[in-house]
Structure 1
Amino acid sequence: MPDPKSVFINRTIRQSIDFLLFSNIFIALCAVAQALVTYKLLHIKPDQHVLGVLFCSTLALYNFSMLLSKPANAKKSPFRRVRWIFGHYRMMVTLTIIAIISLLSLGLFLSVPSLILLFFLAVIAVAYNLPLFTMNEKKFGFRNIPGLKLFLIALIWSLSCVLLPIVETAAMNLITISAADTILLVGKRFLFIAAITVPFDIRDLFQDRNYNLKTIPVILGERKAYLFCQLLLLAYITLLFLFTKVPDANFWGLTVTILLSGFLIFKSSIKKNEYYYFLYIDGIMILQFIMILLFNWLFALIV
């Protein structure tokens, strides 16, 4: 007979992980971690308001997307995440409202250029989830355009977590970053985000086919989609090596993270459970920041 104490502990841990992952708090923390990576690479102090905006906007947007796409019978969904979200519907709505109110408050502390960028990203993000267009009496959105889903997700994340910190820092005259360096940083982050996004589409391959969503895995097939991920990571590594004059702690932190990303993507499959994707694959974004901190600490000890 199972030990009641062990059962209670396991259930509590499981419920805590479910809350963290499925409430989208974890993915919001991933956005914060990615912004911290940017600040670390630029050797500047993180802006707390920018971090707060990224957390709240990510939380609000992901919750909005899920609430908007409620299935006909959420309780019978094959996905634990969907069952959890709509089983805690009121809490999700409350979290979303709190995130939006907090976002509006934090926006008051940002510069005009940052607000313009945020508005642009918000329009794209909302348009991604809404069926704004009509063709042959069928409504569709950006996500239904073949191959565009991956591009938009990677673009929004890279501009939010890289360009926003740069724009806000430049507006405060704390640092001057060339256009070339900015493009390189955004480009590398785009490749990284795109690579870890594709496995989610591979997991949803059959569902996306049913909904006629032309994602990369639907277009290329499962095997070629995995290869596509590795090519994206290879492109990232290539840019990292080409534009790094002296391999420092940040360089090795990024390199190790990309190698780990490639391994986790290689080990992923349609049969993997949701925790593998929402904890491990998404968690790579937090791991990247941790690895940079770790290698900086190690280099400080050596030097």
Structure 2
Amino acid sequence: MQIISGIWRMGWLKKIYNFYLDANIHVALGVYALVQVTLIEYQLPYDRSISFALFFGTIVEYGFIKYASLAKHYLFLKQQYLRWIQLFNFTCAVIAMYFVSELNMKTVIAAAALVLVAFLYVVPSLTTKKNLRNLKGIKAFVVSLTWSVSTVLLPLLNSDILITSEVFIDLVQRFLFVLALMIPFEIRDLKFDEPNLRTIPQVIGVGGSRLLGVVLLVFFVLFGFLQTNINATSLYVEWGIAFLLLIALLFTRADQSKYYASFFVEGISIVWWIGLLLL
């Protein structure tokens, strides 16, 4: 009886874990972590408004991107499990709007532009009947751009920090990091993506994609030396994160585990934040 009870409990734990991933909470936590990295590196106080606006907003955005195309009129889902995720997304949308209302106008305008990009990524235009997702070879670059702007520019705008060349260096560095982070996901999706999407692995293969990831990480580290506001401890953490992502890239396979990219690779952003907190 105890064994059956234990299996039952483990089943529910697995369901909770899968919901945590499927509802994009882990992705949102990665975005939240990168926001904290920016605040720490610029020696800014904790910003509850931008942190939670992006956390809950990411859940809503990724839920829309993943499931809207499966829904009638991009809204009505048939599967019960997906409807639970949709209800969770609606709740998160309400919470996100509350925190968005606390942001300054510059941040809201920049965030609105990112929301528009996410919308165009999923919903086809009335004239071309195509969305940004259909454009060849840009999927990883769109995600990397939105993540870097969201986690570097938006926190600084909300803290009324002057946008200087230093900030643009940080933007480029964050873009390189996220693009390298995307490669295991691109390789994972190789067997699901339409051939005409021209994703990175479709163009240069799995081995070429890993090599590109290594090159991106080299430039990620080099751009760290261009930063004038960063201390030695932050540099060491960046090197550690680059090495961790390098290992993840080398072990990336097309037939990888279901949780390899979704949990372990995605969690590298969280490790970056924890590393700065500990050191």
Taking structure 2 as the reference length, what is the TM-score of the superposition?
Answer: 0.91
Aligned counterpart, 2:164: 179
Q: Measure, in 1, the Cα distance between the counterparts of 2:12 and 2:70.
A: 27
1:62 and 2:47 are equivalent in the alignment = no
Aligned 8 A contact 2:36 2:273 in 1: yes
Q: 1:9-37 CA deviation, whole Å, 9 max, x = no partner?
A: 53243222212111111111111111001
Taking structure 1 as the reference length, what is the TM-score of the superposition?
Answer: 0.84
Instruction: Please report how far the alpha carbon of residue 178 of structure 1 lies from its aligned counterpart in structure 2 after TM superposition.
Output: 4.8
- Within 5 Å, give how 1:9-20 maps onto structure 2: 9-20=9-20
Instruction: Please report how far the alpha carbon of residue 131 of structure 1 lies from its aligned counterpart in structure 2 after TM superposition.
Output: 2.0
Q: Which has the higher contact order (CA 8 A, sep 6+)?
A: 2
- Within 5 Å, give how 1:106-255 maps onto structure 2: 106-132=99-125, 139-170=129-160, 176-210=161-195, 212-243=196-227, 248-255=232-239
SS in 2 for 1:268: coil
Q: Measure, in 1, the Cα distance between the counterparts of 2:234 and 2:13.
A: 33
Aligned counterpart, 1:76: none
Q: Measure, in 2, the Cα distance between the counterparts of 1:217 and 1:132.
A: 27
**Identical aligned pairs, as a percentage?**
26
- Within 5 Å, give how 1:67-106 maps onto structure 2: 67-70=67-70, 86-106=79-99
Instruction: Please report how far the alpha carbon of residue 7 of structure 1 lies from its aligned counterpart in structure 2 after TM superposition.
Output: 2.6
Instruction: Please report how far the alpha carbon of residue 5 of structure 1 lies from its aligned counterpart in structure 2 after TM superposition.
Output: 5.0
Aligned 8 A contact 1:208 1:218 in 2: no
Aligned 8 A contact 1:25 1:59 in 2: yes
- Within 5 Å, give how 1:260-275 maps onto structure 2: 260-275=244-259
The count of residues paired between Structure 1 and Structure 2 equals 274
Q: Measure, in 1, the Cα distance between the counterparts of 2:18 and 2:84.
A: 13
Q: 1:74-124 CA deviation, whole Å, 9 max, x = no partner?
A: xxxxxxxxxxx9451221111111122122222211111011101111111
Q: Measure, in 2, the Cα distance between the counterparts of 1:246 and 1:197.
A: 25
Which blocks of at least 5 consecutive residues in structure 1 are unaligned? 73-84, 171-175, 297-303
Q: 1:206 to 1:71 in 2, by over 3 A?
A: farther
Q: CA RMSD in A?
A: 2.3
Aligned 8 A contact 1:41 1:250 in 2: yes
Q: Measure, in 2, the Cα distance between the counterparts of 1:160 and 1:181.
A: 16
Instruction: Please report how far the alpha carbon of residue 177 of structure 1 lies from its aligned counterpart in structure 2 after TM superposition.
Output: 4.2
Aligned 8 A contact 2:187 2:253 in 1: yes
SS in 1 for 2:254: coil
